[in-house]
Amino acid sequence: MCSGRVDMKFVLRAFLNGTDGVFIGGCRLNECNYITHGNFHALNMVLLCRKIMEHIGLNPERLRIDFMSSGEGNIFAETMNDFGKKVEALGPIGITEEIDKDELKSRIEEVTKLLPYIKIVKKEKLESRVENKEEYDGYFTRDEIEKLFSEVVSYYIDPDKCQACMICARRCPAEAIVGGKNRIHVIDQDKCIKCGTCFEACPPRFGAVTEITGEPVPPPIPEDQRMLARKSKKK
């Protein structure tokens, strides 16, 4: 119902499925019927997504957002005709950009996996209202996007500190933490969506989860060494 409901994941999925262009139509800005003003969220999402598309080598013109009322059928028709022609001129996705099909798939999947992290890092900007059209292009800068991807945070459980309390594994939204009773917990980096919940959830007295930026994550402790030796039971 609301353009604010259009998640970047939907847009990326469309491109992943070979869609050549994505159009999002929202109500006129500042004319939202609700206090949410979701169309501003949609606008920010598109501005960010277009910069991310540039970052992965896709032409950002393949994504467009416009605002109009439901009574403006003529504007809608003109907009769609115009966008349709532009997308046709851009050609099939990936081909014009000279990106191999598998490479494009892997780039889009990599970004999709990082979306929860991106939304946390860019939360404030994504929720703001950009009133002035002149600000659109520079709202998210190339440097900012470079930094966003070069400073991606990873999470790691220090096996010497983990007390197998299982709190992180219960809270992880991606089922990325492998643990169990009296087992030192480890993070499956392939499943981790970098939401930071485990970092927040690990009790401070254990402080077993660490944030790692710009360095490789140490390999997980081998499975046969994960049984926790509790100090109180040692003689």
Interaction of residue 166 with ligand SF4, rule CB under 6 A: yes
Separation of alpha carbons 109 and 90, rounded Å:
22
Sole binder of ligand SF4 in the list 174, 178, 221, 228 (CB under 6 A): 174
Residue 62 vs residues 15, 27, 87, 92, 126: alpha-carbon distances, Å: 9, 21, 6, 10, 20
Query: Between 114 and 167, whose beta carbon lies closer to ligand SF4?
Result: 167
13-21, 56-64, 122-130, 168-176 -> range binding ligand SF4 (CB under 6 A) = 168-176
Separation of alpha carbons 186 and 157, rounded Å:
6
Sole binder of ligand SF4 in the list 65, 172, 220, 226 (CB under 6 A): 172
Name the token pair of 81. Answer: 């005709």
Name the token pair of 223. Answer: 């499975």
Minimum distance from residue 40 beta carbon to ligand SF4 (Å)? 28
Sole binder of ligand SF4 in the list 76, 163, 178, 210 (CB under 6 A): 163
Sole binder of ligand SF4 in the list 4, 157, 220, 226 (CB under 6 A): 157
Asked if 32 contacts 39 with a C-beta cutoff of 8 angstroms, the reply is yes
Judged by CB under 6 A, the number of residues near ligand SF4 is 28
Minimum distance from residue 147 beta carbon to ligand SF4 (Å)? 20
Instruction: Report residue 178: phi and psi, to 5°.
Output: -100, 125
Interaction of residue 167 with ligand SF4, rule CB under 6 A: yes
Q: Which of residues 176-215 bind ligand SF4 (CB under 6 A)?
A: 176-177, 179, 185, 187, 192-198, 201-202, 206, 208-209
29-37, 62-70, 79-87, 154-162 -> range binding ligand SF4 (CB under 6 A) = 154-162
Query: Between 91 and 180, whose beta carbon lies closer to ligand SF4?
Result: 180
The β-bridge partners of 154 are 212
**36 CB-near residues (< 8 Å, 6+ apart):** 2, 4
Which parts of the chain fold into alpha helices (H)? Answer: 8-16, 38-55, 73-90, 101-121, 123-126, 142-150, 167-171, 197-201
Name the token pair of 130. Answer: 């950009």
- Collapsing DSSP states into helix, strand and coil, what is residue 101? helix
- Which residues are at the interface with ligand SF4 (CB under 6 A)? 155, 157, 162-168, 172, 174, 176-177, 179, 185, 187, 192-198, 201-202, 206, 208-209
